[in-house]
Structure 1
Amino acid sequence: MEKESSHLYIITGGPGAGKTTLLEALHKNGYVTAPEEGRRIIREQLQMNGEGVPWKNRILFAELMFDASVKTYQKIRNKKGVKTAFFDRGILDTIGYLRTENIPVPEEMKTRALKMTYQKKVFILPPWNEIYENDPERKQSPEQAVHTFNCIRETYLEYGYQIIEVPRDTVEQRVRFILKMTGNG
């Protein structure tokens, strides 16, 4: 297993909990951030009328998401001068997604996920019905969002990560909470 990448933090949770907004605020505060690969892949697949969307081919979607997450991880991990980086979901989110969909996780994914580590503190945003919205890329119900949250949480715990739940609060307060927990605030 590779040495823990103590400067690479994951912000995760179910859909519609405010991850993207939080990452945008961290980016505005000068931190390196990595956007969620799943939403980008869905947009690209929709533009090309591709099959790699969750409502057409969940396995292909997971493969595309995993490969993109690995590339983003490697790019940011190897980038010189990055003291702290925040990811909108991590490599293990693909495994959590497969579990959510009751799809067997390929052994290669499990092996690669063990080798590609992040900071052991993982920030998870709980389901938040008041801000949850569907859009062309997010078709899950609020109940499915809760199920996704639980599967992702369990996956990170199984892989030895410490889950830190980010309180439901203003974006500014969430940023302060995360920066304080990472020693950057």
Structure 2
Amino acid sequence: MNNWYVITGGPSSGKTTTVNMLSGLGYSTTIEHARHYIDLQHATTGQTVAEIRAKQMDFQRGVLQMQLEQEAELDPQETVFLDRALPDSLAYYRFLDLEPDSRLLQALPHVPYRKTFILDLLPLAADYARTEDTQAQQRIHELLTEVYSSLPVPVEAVPVLAPEQRTQYILDRLE
């Protein structure tokens, strides 16, 4: 086990806002790789978000590769808050009805996170990278909860609160 804490939840649950607040308090954090992948693909190929997301298997594999690389480089002794983590990929593979990558399936039984915080959903807010509707938002949230609950990692639901209160809620429950 290490000192890594996962911040996750369905689309538009306030993950990135929470992670950014933790970063502002001096904690080490990571970025969300799905959004980063979209940004990189757009910058290097000129593809639109729709074109990038249309190739779902390529998209999921690209995000997974970034996540694997990032987690391999993290210091296990450092307290780090991850904006999504490897198990999120399995939830998305299931949501999209795709066969999960073997690298993901091999890694999941060994995830070393100290704890996972699953943020309750906020009203769905549209942005350039988010393509889900409310029904998809709910289903992804359910799948994330199923996946993380099946792993040997403590899971804590985080209620809807003001961003500062949500961040403090998490800090008060670190192990």
With normalisation by structure 2, the TM-score equals: 0.91
Q: Give the paired residue count.
A: 173
Counterpart in 1 of 2:24? 28
Counterpart in 2 of 1:108? 103
SS of structure 1 residue aligned to 2:74: helix
Structure 2: distance between partners of 1:90 and 1:69: 7
Unmatched tracts of structure 1, length 5 or more? none
Overall identity of the aligned pairs, in %: 24
Contact 2:61 2:101 in 1 (8 A): no
What is the letter of the counterpart of residue 121 of structure 2? P
Among 30, 46, 51, which residue is 1:49 paired with? 46
Among 131, 134, 138, which residue is 2:126 paired with? 134
Shift of 1:75: 1.6
CA distance 1:173–1:70, shift in 2 (3 Å): same
Contact 1:100 1:148 in 2 (8 A): yes
What is the letter of the counterpart of residue 143 of structure 1? Q
What is the letter of the counterpart of residue 182 of structure 1? L
What is the letter of the counterpart of residue 12 of structure 1? T
Q: Deviations over 1:110-154 (max 9, x none)?
A: 1122234211x210012221xx21111011112111110011111
Structure 1: distance between partners of 2:48 and 2:106: 26
Contact 1:8 1:77 in 2 (8 A): no
Structure 1: distance between partners of 2:48 and 2:160: 35
**Aligned residue runs from structure 1 range 7-86, under 5 A:** 7-47=3-43, 48-50=45-47, 55-77=53-75, 82=78, 84-86=79-81
More helix by share: 2
The RMSD of aligned alpha carbons is 1.8
Deviates more, 1:135-144 or 1:20-29: 135-144
Structure 1: distance between partners of 2:75 and 2:139: 30
SS of structure 2 residue aligned to 1:10: strand
Shift of 1:108: 2.9
Shift of 1:41: 0.3
Q: 2:153 aligned with 1:161, yes or no?
A: yes
With normalisation by structure 1, the TM-score equals: 0.86
Unmatched tracts of structure 2, length 5 or more? none
Structure 2: distance between partners of 1:49 and 1:34: 25
Shift of 1:71: 1.2
Contact 1:51 1:57 in 2 (8 A): no
Q: Deviations over 1:17-70 (max 9, x none)?
A: 100000000000010000111100011112223599663111111111111111
